[in-house]
Amino acid sequence: MALLTPTLSVVILCVLFLFFVALPRRKRASMLPPGPPRTPILGNMRQMPTAEAPLVFHKWAETYGDVMYLEVPGQSMIILDSLRAAEDLLDHRSLIYSDRPRFPLLEIFGWKAALTMLPYGKKFAKHRQMHQAYLNRHKCADYLSLQIQEAQTLANNLLSSKPSGYESCLSRFSTGIIARIVAGHTIRSNEDAYLSLSSSVSQAVLSAGVPGTTAIDFFPILQHFPRWFPGTHYMSVAEKWRPVVRESYDYPVQSVKRERVGVDLRACMYHASTYDSQESGQAKPSFILTQLQKMESWDSVMKEDEDDLKGAATSSSLSIFVLAMVLHPNVQVKAQEELDRVIGKGRLPEFGDREKLPYVECVFQEIFRWVPGVPLGIPHRCMKDNIYRGMLIPAGSIVFPNIKGMSLDANIYSNPTTFCPERYLPKPAGFAEPHFPAKFGFGRRICTGQYLGDNSVWIAIATILASCTITNALNEQGNKIVPEGTINDTFQAIHTRMSALSNHAPLRPNS
Ligand code: HEM
């Protein structure tokens, strides 16, 4: 029998390749979600937005739908632009959507394997449990009185500060709460070491761009290229901030260690009432102290967890609140009238008042929807091929919940770009629209600080409204200066705007 001729062999190989490689690949490609056209090697690399990515993606979703597919070399990406798609996948299929991609740039910055960055697995479950033991809804009741104290300090600080200092007052508030819970440390002055570290870390966060979307994230090899090479810009930024980030890990632990010396640790086991105790010379009950008690070694994962507990989104939400009040004085008046009616002028708000203040609640809710603090969420990673609405979501895809895009969904929110707290009031006073549920993220990666952050932002808003009025500054002609405020603001833009705005938003005490 004649052996296979070379020609026949080539034909057989071609047929095998067609059946086992090319056709299945083509079939898979045809099942992917729609997205902007890709070029053969670079995919969508050249179209990737360099600024305002959430708004660009939201615009693309008008053409391609709420589940979009993008590709850069070696990486598939899914953008979820509707609450329904995000809930269907990240909540209901959380078993395969709770992984995180690697964030090479953040690693270079010095943020190590903290909970936020941990892959889904046993270590993640352990860390998450540790956070939840401290931050669950029930445990957060222990922090209410310290949050009230810090909110009152915030109002006092705002009233005695120049407008240019407002933003640092707001970050002192959020850092103050976290420092007390995490390290048992009370911030008493603007010169506090925690405060300056925390503000440097916030600047580092701002300069790191949207997690997972820089050229270094897509091509980690770029970190080894010379700094003049296109795409390496973030390397110099990361190198500049790295020492600050490392210090932010070490300082709180070191300070608790110092205070711990000579203290009978068992006597300090944390308890609700002791969070308010302010005696000096003792390591106060705290997250760090409790973990230290459980550990044999100082050099453990706990430091990374401490870094997770910074909750920078709290102060950014409050910056957005100040901006909203300057732009919408009528809202401020309405909320203050409600506060006067319900609690009067003799005292400041407490958490027990919350249910009786529906309009203040609407203002609070609208802050999170109007300018979400984490506009593109923190990306999840899909661990297994799966089909959604007939589309293939490939294993390994980085999945971005476009929280900003969801906040602009005109099917849920009328005039979505407008700041309108009334939208949540029942009809006929309002439009009975739902609160914005995406603000804290999704599924098994939902923000572990959601109850703490929610309480902090609410008490700060209620206390500021009750004690101060945020007004416009006047120009030389005596006319109000109205700062520009557009819905295009991202967190970074808001931060910059706040610095500019603070010159235009004096506060005056309420009578
Ligand atoms: C009001 C303020 C806050 C907002 C709007 C906010 C929002 C978010 C969002 C959108 C995520 C991503 C969730 C996801 O991957 O789907 C997240 C994650 C996270 N947040 Fe917050 N957050 C706030 C305050 C806080 C606070 C106060 C803490 C700590 C005390 C905190 C700790 C965390 C941690 C550790 C994660 C990562 C969870 C994980 O990967 O498993 N957040 N947050």
Cβ of 449 less than 6 Å from ligand 1: yes
Q: Measured between alpha carbons, how far is 125 from 173 in angstroms, rounded to an integer?
A: 30
Biggest CA–CA distance in the chain, Å, is 106
**What is the pLDDT, as a whole number, of residue 7?**
80
Q: Measured between alpha carbons, how far is 110 from 204 in angstroms, rounded to an integer?
A: 10
**What is the pLDDT, as a whole number, of residue 479?**
74
Q: Measured between alpha carbons, how far is 392 from 66 in angstroms, rounded to an integer?
A: 14
Instruction: Read off the pLDDT of residues 1-31 as tens digits, 9 standing for 90 and up.
Output: 556 787 877 777 777 776 767 767 777 888 9
Can you say whether residue 116 is alpha, beta or left, with left for phi > 0 and alpha for psi between -120 and 50 degrees?
alpha
Of the candidates 101, 60, 286, 30, which has an alpha carbon nearest to the alpha carbon of residue 177?
286
Six token digits for residue 236: 């110099």
Cβ of 379 less than 6 Å from ligand 1: no
**What is the pLDDT, as a whole number, of residue 345?**
82
User: Do residues 115 and 95 lie in contact, with contact meaning Cβ atoms separated by under 8 Å?
Assistant: no
User: Which atom belonging to ligand 1 lies closest to the Cα atom of 118?
Assistant: 40
User: Do residues 245 and 111 lie in contact, with contact meaning Cβ atoms separated by under 8 Å?
Assistant: yes
Best residue among 175, 303, 447, 490 to mutate for probing ligand 1, ranked by most atoms within 8 Å of CB: 447
For the ranges 229-238, 241-250, 303-312, the lowest mean pLDDT is seen at 303-312
pLDDT band for position 301 (cuts 50, 70, 90): very low
Cβ of 442 less than 6 Å from ligand 1: yes
State in Å: Cα 448 to ligand 1 middle. 6
Residue closest by Cα to atom 7 of ligand 1: 440
The model carries a pTM of 0.84
Q: Measured between alpha carbons, how far is 171 from 175 in angstroms, rounded to an integer?
A: 6
State in Å: Cα 350 to ligand 1 middle. 24
Best residue among 83, 91, 316, 440 to mutate for probing ligand 1, ranked by most atoms within 8 Å of CB: 440
Cβ of 314 less than 6 Å from ligand 1: yes
Q: How far is CA 385 from CA 89, 99, 288, 298, 487, in A?
A: 12, 14, 40, 41, 36
**What is the pLDDT, as a whole number, of residue 35?**
97
Q: Rg (Cα) of the chain, in Å, rounded?
A: 25
Instruction: Read off the pLDDT of residues 159-203 as tens digits, 9 standing for 90 and up.
Output: 888 777 888 888 899 999 988 888 888 888 888 888 888 878 877
Grouping H, G, I as helix, E, B as strand and the rest as coil, residue 89 is helix
Cβ neighbours, 10 Å, residue 132: 13
Angle (CA) 217 220 222, round 5°: 110
> Residue 450 class from Cβ within 10 Å (0-12 exposed, 13-18 middle, 19+ buried)?
middle
Cβ of 374 less than 6 Å from ligand 1: yes
Instruction: Read off the pLDDT of residues 192-216 as tens digits, 9 standing for 90 and up.
Output: 888 888 878 877 777 777 777 788 8
Q: Which residues lie below 8 Å from residue 354, measured CB to CB, with a gap of 6+?
A: 360, 361, 458, 462
State in Å: Cα 19 to ligand 1 middle. 46
State in Å: Cα 479 to ligand 1 middle. 41
Q: Consult the annotation and say whether 268 binds a ligand.
A: no
Cβ of 128 less than 6 Å from ligand 1: yes
Of the candidates 59, 86, 57, which has an alpha carbon nearest to the alpha carbon of residue 69?
57
